[in-house]
Structure 1
Amino acid sequence: MLAMIEDRALHTDLALERPVPALQAISHDPSLRTTVALRDGRRLTGVQAQWAYLEQAAAWVDDRFGADADADTVEVLQRWESVLTRLERDPMECAREARLGRQAALLNGFRDREGLPWDAPRLGLIDLQYSDVRPEKGLYHRLLARDRIERVVTDAQAADAVEQPPEDTRAYFRGRCLAKYGQDVAAASWDSVIFDLPGRDSLQRVPMLEPLRGGRDSVGDLIDASDTAADLMAALAAR
């Protein structure tokens, strides 16, 4: 979607008349039948709006890449279509993949067993416990242990991503700088790394405005050859 926005490839106006109330209305309806008003006067459900976005995305990928679309992009489009198809039919069919169905199944099961109304505080606690990141506390982790959640990455892949940034975006430069020169990094954000170098009166900022610049191919050799952050800054200036 971000690439399509940059390419001005969104040709169907799906702007909501009142975005915040619309989001609340959709998120509060587990049946997914609530409709919200668009600025052009139409009314759509959340799923219908998603279909409209998906159709534009699929057409754009086909036009831009055709048979050369990368595997990740193809998988995203396939999963997107599969989830929307099942959400329309029955949201509970997506309990293994979508949080909506998973939490609804949890809450419905507990409510039926305990005979609780929907406004029971205990149901609110279950909602909070689901998001508890502690493996021994969070309900997500219990469901995962029971093979009731479909994962798209393994534990090993997740652990590797903590230490190894992607090699084809600016995240590579940022991640390598933090790993190698962390003691000299004053701040790091999406679009810059700021160094506090010994002997310098002011902070040194390296802008990273282009998401696809700063990958291994362009800066990997500089970082490998620079023992200190000061060496890296000198190498960048020379280049």
Structure 2
Amino acid sequence: MSVRRIVGLETEFGVLDPDNPRANPIELSDIVVDSYGRHGSAAGCTEPVRWDYTGEDPLHDARGFRLERAAADPSMLTDDPTRPAPSGGAHLQHIARPSREELALPHATNTVLTNGARLYVDHAHPEYSSPEVTNPREAVLWDRAGEAIAREAMQILREAGRNVVLYKNNIDGKGAAYGSHENYLVSREVEFSEIVRYVTPFFVTRPILCGTGRVGLGPSSEAPGFQISQRADYVENDVGLETTFNRPIINTRDEPHAWSDQYRRFHVIGGDANQFDASILLKVGTTALVLWMLEQDEVPLGLETALIDQPVPATWIVSRDLTLQQKLEMFSGPDRTALDIQQQYLDVVGELVETHGGPDWDTREVLDLWQNTLDKLRHNLWDAAPEVEWVAKYQLLEGMRQRSGLSWDSDKLRAIDLQWHDLRAERSIVNKLAQAGRVTRFFTDAEVAWAVTNPPAGTRAYLRGELIRRYGKQVISASWTSGVVDAGGEELVRIPLLDPLGGTREKVGEALDASPTPADFIAKLTAGTAEKQ
């Protein structure tokens, strides 16, 4: 009866050198990540912490097979450290120290931060992968911390005489798209076919709640206009393993970064990068509730009427329907609008929550915001502007278009569209709207600043981040499932983090406080006293 689950968000930032628009984006991304890894407030030390690629398995498909490595597109090999897109007592593992020659080998630009997040170069973009959190509000907070980190990275470079601008968007308007991905841990008992069947119509229509909006229709903005979703025009397939081409509605990567017999990581690639707190909360919270429904194995028969006949074309239709009145062709039964389908999912989930004892506080917040937002979208679109990002952007651009007599192919409108995503505080339109009280905020700037350097307390991200904050250069590498430390012995020590709810402040906080060195902490782990059961 809860939205609470392990969640993590990823953002690939757009990157540009205004003084040299033809600058190599990979080089710019390298500079951003490396400089922050050495000088950023969340870096932990002056040498970026490397990523531990042990255990990465990006080619395993949730449909029950593994793509042959030779057949994989290079962009899918996220386990390759040489690529810029590699995109009781504890069971410790002792590993040999790397030689000088091994340390000198090429490796992708990466760093792991004191808040438990990863900052690295992915597909020619700086990517911020948030720490694991346990509820939608935390997802909002640590996603916005990524924006603050991006602003700090720009400032570090500016002070060094380099002008680099980062954008929180998903497209360049010229045919390229980059990701804003979501990750949800789901019980392995849920059949993947059930996820495909019941999450697909939900995802097709979800952009009306959390789209960011864009000027231009078509992957390369071939036609003038405004649409709800930045990513819709790049959806080409119902289901698939790919993330950078032939993009599906449902991604099948089966790489749980946790105990594989208990969890699957549902990797969502079709969402927009949001700057509005309510849009992020709706994106994460509504999805978490639909997944919770599937875990109960109690999908009502009536939800069969929500299945869409052709999901990919329907994705494009929903994105371009600014009236929210266009009906989609259903697999069976009468045609329905995106609003109708979202209302049906809300009704079904809400009723099921009541039969399981009623909602906790986090769930009640999401259910109420979901209903209130649908009501506003249905009755007066502009009323939803403080919560729904695409509505706020559309309201601003449409007002400008009407006042100045502009068409949707106006360069001025395209420039304002881009500026919306500019993360420089002095240029950010979203920042100006928030200061004017026109954006619903759940967190203060001080709370976001705190999340830049501090990890969530309730997941393994706490231990990952605290290892880096406390022990700095003695942390050799880290990943979602491990931390490798130099405890002073002949070999390095890999600390396993396969339990996403292990390594929390409650379980290891006292042991860390009592351990001035990694060796002290390892001794407590070995004795079985570091983590409270």
TM bucket by the smaller chain? 0.7 to 0.9
Aligned pair 1:220/2:509, yes or no?
yes
Conservation of the 8 A alpha-carbon contact between 2:464 and 2:478: no
Conservation of the 8 A alpha-carbon contact between 1:4 and 1:10: yes
Give the Cα–Cα distance (whole angstroms) in 1 for the partners of residues 489 and 392 of structure 2. Answer: 55
3-state DSSP of counterpart to 1:92: helix
Displacement of 1:130 in angstroms is 0.7
Conservation of the 8 A alpha-carbon contact between 1:86 and 1:93: yes
Match of 1:133 among 398, 423, 426: 423
Aligned length: 234
Give the Cα–Cα distance (whole angstroms) in 2 for the partners of residues 16 and 214 of structure 1. Answer: 42
Task: Tell me: CA distance 1:34–1:217, structure 2 relative to 1, closer, same or farther (3 Å).
Answer: same
Aligned pair 1:64/2:356, yes or no?
yes
Aligned ranges 1:88-103 → 2 under 5 Å: 88-103=378-393
The two structures, once aligned, show a CA RMSD in angstroms of 2.5
Q: For residue 124 of structure 1, what is the aligned residue in structure 2? A: 414
Match of 1:27 among 319, 326, 334: 319
Displacement of 1:95 in angstroms is 1.0
Conservation of the 8 A alpha-carbon contact between 1:208 and 1:214: no
Match of 1:115 among 394, 405, 409: 405
Gaps of 5+ in 2: 1-288, 529-533
Displacement of 1:99 in angstroms is 0.7
Displacement of 1:9 in angstroms is 4.2
Name the TM-score, length of structure 2 as normaliser. Answer: 0.40
Give the Cα–Cα distance (whole angstroms) in 2 for the partners of residues 130 and 95 of structure 1. Answer: 14
Q: For residue 5 of structure 1, what is the aligned residue in structure 2? A: 294
Gaps of 5+ in 1: none
Aligned pair 1:188/2:441, yes or no?
no
User: Higher strand fraction: Structure 1 or Structure 2?
Assistant: 2
Displacement of 1:201 in angstroms is 4.7
Give the Cα–Cα distance (whole angstroms) in 1 for the partners of residues 381 and 525 of structure 2. Answer: 52
Question: Deviation string for 1:202-233 (max 9, x for gaps)?
Answer: 662513343x3332222222222232334334
Give the Cα–Cα distance (whole angstroms) in 2 for the partners of residues 31 and 143 of structure 1. Answer: 24
Conservation of the 8 A alpha-carbon contact between 1:37 and 1:44: yes
Displacement of 1:38 in angstroms is 4.4
Give the aligned residue type for 2:479.
A
Q: For residue 44 of structure 1, what is the aligned residue in structure 2? A: 336
Identity of aligned residues (%): 34
Task: Tell me: CA distance 1:35–1:176, structure 2 relative to 1, closer, same or farther (3 Å).
Answer: farther
Give the aligned residue type for 2:317.
A
Q: For residue 142 of structure 1, what is the aligned residue in structure 2? A: 432
3-state DSSP of counterpart to 2:350: helix
Task: Tell me: CA distance 1:213–1:50, structure 2 relative to 1, closer, same or farther (3 Å).
Answer: farther
Which deviates the most, 51-60 or 162-171? 162-171
The one of the two structures with greater contact order (alpha-carbon pairs below 8 A, sep at least 6) is: 2
3-state DSSP of counterpart to 1:119: coil
Give the Cα–Cα distance (whole angstroms) in 2 for the partners of residues 112 and 151 of structure 1. Answer: 29
Displacement of 1:41 in angstroms is 5.9
Aligned ranges 1:67-82 → 2 under 5 Å: 69-82=359-372
Give the Cα–Cα distance (whole angstroms) in 2 for the partners of residues 34 and 154 of structure 1. Answer: 38
Which deviates the most, 6-15 or 161-170? 6-15
Q: For residue 83 of structure 2, what is the aligned residue in structure 1? A: none
Conservation of the 8 A alpha-carbon contact between 1:135 and 1:141: yes
Name the TM-score, length of structure 1 as normaliser. Answer: 0.84
Displacement of 1:164 in angstroms is 3.1
Which deviates the most, 44-53 or 124-133? 44-53
Give the Cα–Cα distance (whole angstroms) in 2 for the partners of residues 115 and 94 of structure 1. Answer: 25
Aligned pair 1:55/2:344, yes or no?
no
Aligned pair 1:204/2:499, yes or no?
no
Give the Cα–Cα distance (whole angstroms) in 2 for the partners of residues 57 and 200 of structure 1. Answer: 55
Which deviates the most, 215-224 or 198-207? 198-207
Give the Cα–Cα distance (whole angstroms) in 1 for the partners of residues 331 and 391 of structure 2. Answer: 29
Give the aligned residue type for 1:3.
W
Which deviates the most, 2-11 or 114-123? 2-11
Give the aligned residue type for 1:194.
G
Q: For residue 159 of structure 1, what is the aligned residue in structure 2? A: 449
Give the aligned residue type for 2:431.
H
Give the Cα–Cα distance (whole angstroms) in 1 for the partners of residues 383 and 499 of structure 2. Answer: 41
Give the Cα–Cα distance (whole angstroms) in 1 for the partners of residues 368 and 521 of structure 2. Answer: 42
User: Higher helix fraction: Structure 1 or Structure 2?
Assistant: 1
Displacement of 1:43 in angstroms is 3.5
Conservation of the 8 A alpha-carbon contact between 2:339 and 2:378: yes
Give the Cα–Cα distance (whole angstroms) in 2 for the partners of residues 40 and 229 of structure 1. Answer: 61
Give the Cα–Cα distance (whole angstroms) in 1 for the partners of residues 341 and 472 of structure 2. Answer: 44
3-state DSSP of counterpart to 1:26: helix
